[in-house]
């Protein structure tokens, strides 16, 4: 398996990305193609003794930086590392691409080069959300806002495939995130989506509330990306705030090793991306994994591990098939 890695993506690129990619080659037995300015990457590689034959280099003279408008930057930088790496997937030269670069750039590259599955308009972000609820996927956590009911149904279908393929849950339960458990509670979006979910063939269990997320009441919790984006960002900083509080309170009461283990546990429970690595953009016609911008080498390694798993489990093929099936079943249009 060959994984193209955007060597210039992330706050600690290229060093941490290169180091993390080299580790991944050893740990997972994958071939790594580092994509970025050859001289920069060579310089990183030259700091190491010896050279792993599983590490290749593909030159890309440009790269995106945080804060650029992604679509505009990609038009200006046709040789940007993320674009070059994504094209390798399109051309069959790599099985997946991994980047810790700006989200907008990764998404725009994926859209431009690979396109989406089932005619969905934008990639989705979804995955297991909390360490407290390791068998719960929240979707969409990304950029899809003002979603029509058909889009929420797409999230549900894709989330259910993710739960089956990536979490080994055979018949995942699916729920709509709402303000009350009863049918009829929620906003117009939820009320209109409910009947569509009922006849979707999914294992739909109705609405869940915010309080049901940590307990993992459903395997797939569906929400508009506006809500999901707020939830995921909120959770991450809330978890960090709790950890700071614990450090303050327990500094004199626990050994530094005990305290670190406790804080790591709380972070793992509240911020699964840091623990597990970044996951694939969903409903893209190819495996594109996005790690956190602040990824260190171990985070890069983990994200490459997620990309490998997505390839092995044929996540892309399964999502494409499931989206086509639900369109057939409900006689919905193919593209939206």
Contact positions vs its own copies (CB under 8 A):
130, 132, 143, 145-146, 177-179, 186-188, 209-215, 223-227, 229-238, 240-242, 245-246, 249-250, 253-254, 258, 262, 265-266, 269-270
| Nearest approach, Cβ of residue 108 and its own copies (Å) | 15
Distance CA 278, CA 264 (A): 18
Nearer of residues 14 and 186 to its own copies, judged by Cβ: 186
Nearer to its own copies, 161 or 267 (CB): 267
Angstrom distances, CA of residue 327 to CA of 198, 309, 324, 331: 14, 27, 5, 5
Contacts of 249 by beta carbon, 8 Å cutoff, 6+ apart: none
CB of 238 to its own copies, least distance (A): 5
Q: Toward its own copies, which CB reaches closer, 269 or 275?
A: 269
Dihedral pair phi/psi, residue 171, rounded to 5°: -130, 70
Q: CB burial class (10 A; 0-12, 13-18, 19+) of residue 268? A: middle
The least distance separating its own copies from the CB of residue 235, rounded to whole angstroms, comes to 7
* Residue closest to 232 by CA, chosen among 301, 177, 298: 177
Q: How far is the CB of 51 from its own copies (least distance, A)?
A: 40
**CA angle in degrees (0–180, nearest 5) for 150-152-154:** 70
| Shortest distance (Å) from residue 113 CB to its own copies | 24
Q: Nearer to its own copies by C-beta: 76 or 249?
A: 249
Q: Which is nearer to its own copies, 70 or 286 (CB)?
A: 70
Task: Report, in Å, the least distance between residue 78 CB and its own copies.
Answer: 25
Q: How far is the CB of 248 from its own copies (least distance, A)?
A: 9
Nearer to its own copies, 43 or 249 (CB): 249
For its own copies, the closer CB: 105 or 305: 105
- Compute the least distance from the CB of residue 1 to its own copies, in Å: 34
Q: Compute the distance between CA of residue 210 and CA of residue 207 in angstroms, rounded to an integer.
A: 10
Cβ closest to its own copies, residue 10 vs residue 131: 131
Please report where in the chains the tokens 């639900």 appear, as a residue. 326
Q: How far is the CB of 85 from its own copies (least distance, A)?
A: 25
**Beta carbon nearer to its own copies, 151 or 309:** 151
């Amino acid at each position: 398996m060959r994984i193209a890695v955007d060597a210039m993506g992330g706050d600690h690129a290229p060093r941490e990305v290169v180091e993390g990619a080299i580790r991944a080659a050893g740990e997972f037995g994958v071939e790594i193609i580092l994509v970025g300015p050859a001289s920069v990457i060579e310089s990183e590689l030259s700091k190491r003794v010896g050279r792993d034959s599983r590490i290749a280099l593909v030159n890309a003279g440009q790269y995106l930086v945080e804060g650029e408008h992604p679509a505009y930057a990609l038009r200006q930088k046709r040789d940007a590392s993320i674009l070059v790496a994504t094209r390798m997937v399109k051309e069959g030269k790599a099985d997946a691409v991994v980047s810790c670069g700006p989200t907008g750039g990764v998404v725009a590259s994926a859209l431009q080069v690979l396109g989406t599955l089932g005619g969905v308009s934008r990639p989705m972000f979804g995955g297991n959300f909390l360490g407290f609820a390791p068998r719960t996927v929240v979707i969409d956590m990304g950029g899809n806002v003002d979603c029509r009911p058909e889009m929420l149904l797409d999230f549900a279908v894709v989330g259910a495939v993710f739960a089956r393929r990536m979490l080994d849950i055979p018949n995942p339960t699916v729920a709509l995130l709402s303000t009350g458990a009863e049918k009829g509670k929620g906003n117009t979006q939820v009320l209109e989506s409910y009947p569509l979910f009922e006849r979707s063939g999914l294992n739909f269990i109705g609405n869940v509330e915010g309080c049901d997320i940590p307990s993992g009441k459903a395997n797939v919790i569906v929400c508009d990306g506006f809500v999901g984006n707020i939830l995921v960002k909120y959770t991450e900083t809330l978890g960090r705030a709790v950890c700071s509080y614990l450090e303050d309170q327990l500094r004199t009461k626990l050994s530094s090793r005990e305290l670190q283990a406790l804080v790591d546990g709380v972070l793992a429970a509240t911020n699964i991306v840091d623990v597990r690595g970044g996951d694939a953009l969903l409903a893209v016609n190819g495996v594109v994994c996005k790690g956190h911008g602040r990824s260190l080498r171990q985070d890069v390694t983990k994200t490459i591990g997620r990309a490998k798993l997505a390839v092995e489990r044929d996540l892309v093929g399964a999502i494409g098939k499931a989206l086509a099936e639900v369109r057939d079943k409900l006689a919905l249009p193919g593209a939206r």
